[in-house]
Amino acid sequence: MLKHYLNKHLILLFVMLIGLSSAAIAQKISGQILDANATPIIGASVVEAGTTNGVITDFEGAFSLELTNKDAKIKVSFIGYESQEITVGNQSFIKVTLTEDVTELEELVVIGYGTQKKQNITGAIASIDSKAIEGRPVADVQSALQGQVAGVQISTGGTGPGAESSVRIRGTASITGGSDPLYVVDGFIMANGGAFTTINPSDIESINVLKDASAAAIYGARAANGVVIITTKRGKGGATRFNVNTFIGTQAPTQTLDLLNAEEYRTMYNMARDNAGKPRIANLADESQPLENNTDWQKETLQRAPMKNFEFSAAGGSENAHFYTSVRHYDEAGMINNTGFDRTSIRFNGDARTGRFKMGASLYFSNANYDEEFNTGDKGMMFHAISNSPAIAVRDENNVGGFNGPKAADGYVQKLNPVAATELVSNRRVNNRFVGNVYGEFEILEGLVYKMNGGADYSGTHRKMFAPYFDLGNGIAAVGLPNGAELQESRGEFASWLFENTLNYKTSFGKHSLGLLAGHSAMHSQYGSQHITVVGGQLSQDFPQINGSANVNGIPQGFLVQERTLSYIGRAIYDYDEKYLATFNFRRDGSSKFSKENFFDNFYSGSVGWLLSKEDFFKNDVVNYLKIRASYGFLGNDKIDANATRFIMNLNSRYPFGGSMDVGVAPGDQLANQNLVWEKQQQMNIGADFALLKNKLTGTIDYFVKNSNDLLISYNLPRSTGGANMFLNAGEVQNKGVELSLNYTNKVGELNYNFGVNGTYLTNEVTALVDGVSAINRGRNAIFGDMNRIEPGNSLFAFYGLETDGIYKSQDEITNGPTPLQGTKPGDFRFKDISGPEGVPDGKIDGDDRTFIGDGNQDFVYGFNLGLNYKRFDFSMQWQGVQGNDVYSTLKFYSQGYFNDFNMTKDVLNAWTPQNPNSDQPRAIPHDQFKERNSVSSYWIQDGSYLRLKNLQVGYSFNMENVAFLNSLRVYAAGQNLLTFTKYQGYDPEVAFSGIEGTRIYPTGRSLIVGVQVGF
């Protein structure tokens, strides 16, 4: 009975529980979670609000959930996206689109060994996201970045396809040391530089430029020239996304010289020889005879060059593991015949997290191939194109190699046929580079994170130049190839490793927030190369190998350099109520470049900020955000000669022994200086960040002073010391200026637009040199001598020489003026009488009249951009310019100076003659007949200011809503360097930062491309 009773009631209880359970399941829903591109998000969390009842989305972003509450809400979340809470109501299927978390993805700035909210930053940091870089038809990042960041100067310097540009942050601050910034890519310090030229621009997520001491001091001795932190893209959870970007195009020189044709050439050189009382060039002497040739050497040397690009990327993962990978092939033919560049690169970034542990890796490999022009010393093919007479034919099948050259009857014969050199001589360089780093993070306690970061950088380079024997029909060896056939081969390697350990602690208590960093860093670098040249023998186009000749030209060269750096790091970041901000940095660096006594030095900085817009008294409808900040600190520069503190030995010293001359080792020219210390900097920065008009107008303004001390110079010693030179800490330089960046964003109907402008005013001044050194002359040219003079009170790039005051129009002007240089006649330069032995004008033109005649420093650097989006159309353009800099134009001298029978520009057609006395062009006379014209003078200086339309792009994005396999499709057309406004007369005003125009000239290209971007 009892058993039956219990069974009966247990069954009843079980039925009641089932009923209650059924009542608890109020509703069953399903749905899909997508991102803004309608791509499914894998691993998103869907939880019934107020409960632990939840599920994770599958590979299609789909979910199914049984709710326990009739009036339930669901909360959808995923890392990197804004969470959403949705009332279910009567819905059975819910589609949710998550948007990216703006605060997390856009407002966190990488500051070196960590991140910080943008609004809490107290240093001068400029941030550039991927939108400012993507879609540009360029080989490298700096070409896309030029003119977009205040305080950053970039110069390509006309060095050919794939060449690395020079970058300066707030000016040049060293005399003999390196002035390029430090590059840090995904936490790895690139000791070998080249970050901008090796990284695929499409792989970049953001670039942060650390400009002042507060921002950069965490990198200590490497940070004096600023720091560029590059963060590459990483995957996010969700379905794997694939992207393809491809474009093709062509480029041609933005400018060529307007040179004399053959008849004009004959006229001017006959006039020059007649004026000098010298015989005319034989083949040009009789102007009644027609000329057989009228060669345009520029046209023969240059070509319209194709370019193409293909890149593919994939990114995806789950909530706890994600990846990004890409491959790119870029191919650019050079505008000089048979030059060019191509690079293939592969990247893989991966991250994973489990519990308190996180790890990741960034791996990159690139293979770059450079077909470079053949250079004879410091002279390139465009120099040789200018040098040749238009009255000479390019080819002559009767000569070995099939090319022609000047004969004695054509004038000066020591000239190279540039077409022969580009077609017969191969000059190929191959570079393979691998950069990889891995990291691991472990959260020891809440807010306390240990991180290990290790990486390696390896680069191997092989260069091979081969020139077969060829004859230009003039009975002499080709210029640059005195021994006939020649083969040069060199191999170089660079390797570095980095190992770092850091502890990061972040905590908040009340309105106080504190972040602490402590760490240790060790880095080792090693680089070296070997080079050999062989000539003659059996070398030929069929056998261009080293063992083709036993005739070694000169002594085989080789070197190996090792550098070690040891560092200790510390930082404290504090804020109160996110209104009152402070940051303090410390780094102790040791470098093997210095003696044991000076191995270590300390570098530190501090900064404060005040977020006024959070104060109650500041609340208003116009200024939405305002922060003022100030910083001061000390940095160092270890980019000096690795052997500056050491004796340099002479490995080719000869001495008599046993009746013959033997080779031994003896002290070289450089004496050791164990007392050398680091180049140091003191930096001060005052700035403000602001946003107005409901955040439509944002901007930053900074005033900075950067004093560089203990700068190294190579000091010439009397031979009685047993050496020729020694490095000394002997110079001080100051850079100061103002930076301004503004950006305005708005919308009118369906038109979205933005306009940005940035500018930097910069002064550069040498403030002191060591006792006993009043000035340093440099910038030597074989014709002019030293063009640049470093002297306190002037910039590092000041030109020093005679100042011209027009042209002597008559003999009376010469007679009644100061005693001119010997041989001066009407039509020659009139120089100013500036000074004399007593420091005052003495009525005579001589070396005492030299003065500062120009400055290569760029006073003002600026850029502005415009972006428009209307429905599915997009348009963008970016302008870039510099102002206030001079260029010492060696090209002007060679193309207007009647030098060695070079061709010249049509300017010389207006040369002074008795019938044309008011001309500003000097009289026609061979340069060797009045060598005073070769003096460094202001006549050869040009205004280097320019404004350039750097990029223009138009695109259209198709509607892909009804295309199942595509997420996005965009077609676009773009142009680079489309317009240049300048007074400069030459190939390109964008020369080296020194302002001295070299003779290895490679024209800047104007490119036009069309492309397609596909996402699926």
- pLDDT at res. 19: 41
Instruction: Say if residue 871's pLDDT is above 80.
Output: yes
**By three-state DSSP, how is residue 910 classified?**
helix
Q: Could you tell me the pLDDT band of residue 307, with boundaries at 50, 70 and 90? A: very high
Dihedral angle over CA of 917, 922, 926, 927, nearest 10: 150
- pLDDT at res. 135: 64
Instruction: Say if residue 722's pLDDT is above 70.
Output: yes
Strands 996-997 and 886-889: what pairing?
A: parallel
- pLDDT at res. 621: 85
The residue-averaged pLDDT of 409-414 equals 94
Number of H helices, E strands in the chain: 11, 49
Angle (nearest 5°) at CA 277 between 417 and 259? 35
Q: Could you tell me the pLDDT band of residue 6, with boundaries at 50, 70 and 90? A: very low
Instruction: Say if residue 291's pLDDT is above 90.
Output: yes
Instruction: Say if residue 10's pLDDT is above 50.
Output: no
Rounded Cα gap, residues 24 and 66, in angstroms: 10
**By three-state DSSP, how is residue 424 classified?**
helix
Rounded Cα gap, residues 57 and 546, in angstroms: 64
Measured distance between the N- and C-terminal CA atoms of the chain, rounded to whole angstroms: 72
Closest CA to 478 of 386, 413, 392, 543: 413
- Determine which of 110-114, 154-158, 218-222 has the lowest per-residue pLDDT on average: 154-158
Rounded Cα gap, residues 1 and 168, in angstroms: 99
Instruction: Say if residue 237's pLDDT is above 70.
Output: yes
Average pLDDT across the chain, whole number? 89
The residue ranking higher by pLDDT, 967 or 625, is 625
- The pTM for the full model equals 0.87
Rounded Cα gap, residues 113 and 198, in angstroms: 23
Name the CA radius of gyration of the chain, rounded: 34
pLDDT in tens, 485-521: 999 999 999 999 999 999 999 999 999 999 999 999 9
The residue ranking higher by pLDDT, 771 or 703, is 703
Q: Could you tell me the pLDDT band of residue 723, with boundaries at 50, 70 and 90? A: confident
CA-to-CA separations, 317 to 79, 320, 323, 441, in angstroms, rounded: 12, 8, 6, 19
Tokens of 502: 């850091």
Instruction: Say if residue 5's pLDDT is above 80.
Output: no
Instruction: Say if residue 778's pLDDT is above 60.
Output: yes
Tokens of 127: 């941030």
CA-based torsion, 427, 368, 143, 975: positive or negative: positive
Rounded Cα gap, residues 813 and 826, in angstroms: 8
Angle (nearest 5°) at CA 683 between 681 and 685? 165
- pLDDT at res. 920: 93
Strands 623-637 and 679-692: what pairing?
A: antiparallel
Spell out the residues 6+ positions from residue 558 whose beta carbon is closer than 8 angstroms to its own. 528, 529, 530, 531
The residue-averaged pLDDT of 343-362 equals 96
Backbone angles phi, psi at 483, to 5 degrees: -110, 20
The residue-averaged pLDDT of 569-594 equals 94
**By three-state DSSP, how is residue 840 classified?**
coil
Q: Could you tell me the pLDDT band of residue 26, with boundaries at 50, 70 and 90? A: low
- pLDDT at res. 901: 95
Spell out the residues 6+ positions from residue 382 whose beta carbon is closer than 8 angstroms to its own. 298, 301, 336, 418, 987, 1001, 1002, 1003
Closest CA to 955 of 136, 201, 128: 136
- pLDDT at res. 611: 95
- Determine which of 166-180, 729-743, 749-763 has the lowest per-residue pLDDT on average: 166-180
pLDDT in tens, 874-893: 999 999 999 999 999 999 99
- pLDDT at res. 20: 38
DSSP 124: -
- Determine which of 595-599, 612-616, 652-656 has the lowest per-residue pLDDT on average: 652-656
The residue-averaged pLDDT of 7-26 equals 43
Instruction: Say if residue 7's pLDDT is above 60.
Output: no
Q: Could you tell me the pLDDT band of residue 757, with boundaries at 50, 70 and 90? A: very high
- pLDDT at res. 645: 81
DSSP 3-state percent helix, strand, coil across the chain (nearest 5): 15, 50, 35
Rounded Cα gap, residues 192 and 225, in angstroms: 15
Spell out the residues 6+ positions from residue 43 whose beta carbon is closer than 8 angstroms to its own. 56, 57, 78, 237, 238, 318, 319, 320
Tokens of 15: 């039925």
Q: Could you tell me the pLDDT band of residue 158, with boundaries at 50, 70 and 90? A: low
